Amino acid sequence: MAGRGGSGIGIGIYRGCFWGSLQGFWVPPTPILTLVPPMAGGGSGIGRAVCARLAKEGAHVAVADQNEAGAAETVRGLPREESGQEHEAFGVDVSSAQSVGELMARIQARFSTPPRVCVSCAGITMDEFLLKQTEAAFNKVLQVNLKGTFLVTQAVARGLVESGAPGGSIINMGSIVGKVGNLGQVSYAASKAGVEGLTKTAAKELARFGIRCNVVLPGFIATPMTDKVPPKVLQKFAGMVPLGRLGDPKEVADVCVFLASEESRYITGASVEVTGGLFL
């Protein structure tokens, strides 16, 4: 429900300490993969907030997007808190198995290890009522939102298992719409419901490898797309939320940080709503 987006990826490399400021759990330097939607006009949003939060924790972040220029713009805005901290931009089409495979190979070549954490935020909407929704539009949304999440989750999990890594954390971005539906979003709701089911199944299958899989469900989140919504409409949205306001992308990013960290080491297969109490 955060607005229209696209597909992309960000990767972070931790040097020495995995989420050190949170837990102090020491592991070798490892990459962190984050799928992020390109931000309209180069603004901020959930994906960029996640990348910024990773960078703030000391990650070496590589941002990948179907539009590599957009990824580069994200990289330019990332903080560099640690000495020698580096960020890079990549291009990728998350709906293509070949493209995702090539990206993983580039990550492996660049950082000599597969991602230990994956935060998948890629998503688009092509809103239309059920009676008017075209097959092409429906397929496009599922190609990016559901198939893209599947391909990246599978690729990251395979990399972890094949490398013998002692576990990992995969965090997929769903939506509260996937649980309750929404007028005019039949394809988006279906895709996000699928992401939730995919993640829970992955959690069951990958637990024996120490890989945790969880899904985050944002509600009404203020993004560059909501800047175009009339104030009266935004006020109506905020009035539906028990906490009385729209969420901030940083609040979603904070949840992703928690699920990536050792603080959540006994959490897998969970659906975490970041909605301000919407639809309680």
Each residue of 230-255: pLDDT tens digit?
889 889 989 999 999 999 999 999 99
CA 235 from centre of chain: 27
CA 27/CA 15 separation, integer angstroms = 8
Which residue numbers are catalytic? Answer: 188
67-121, pLDDT tens digit by residue?
888 888 888 988 887 777 778 888 889 999 999 999 989 888 887 788 888 888 8
Label each residue of 160-193 as H, E or C.
HHHHCCCCEEEEEECCCHHHHCCCCEHHHHHHHH
Supply the angle between the helices 46-56 and 249-260 in degrees, to the nearest 10. 50
Output the six-digit token pair for 105: 């190979």
State the architecture of 8-272 in CATH terms: 3-Layer(aba) Sandwich (3.40)
Q: Is residue 198 over pLDDT 90?
A: yes
Share of the chain above pLDDT 90, in %: 54
Question: Which two structure tokens, joined as six digits, stand for 248?
Answer: 């901030």
Q: What is the pTM of this model?
A: 0.87
- Compute, in degrees rounded to 10, the torsion defined by CA atoms 102, 103, 105, 107: 170
> Do the strands 168-173 and 211-218 form a parallel or antiparallel pair, or are they unpaired?
parallel
Backbone angles phi, psi at 247, to 5 degrees: -80, 160
Spacing of C-alpha 252 from chain mean position: 10
Q: Where are the domains of the chain?
A: 8-272
E strand map for 23-167: 25-26, 30-35, 62-65, 88-91, 117-120
Q: What is the pLDDT of residue 28?
A: 35
Identify the pLDDT of residue 218: 96
* pLDDT of 6 over the 80 cut: no
* CA 12/CA 55 separation, integer angstroms: 7
Indicate the pLDDT class of residue 132, thresholds 50, 70 and 90.
very high
Q: pLDDT by residue (tens digit) across 218-235?
A: 999 998 777 777 889 889
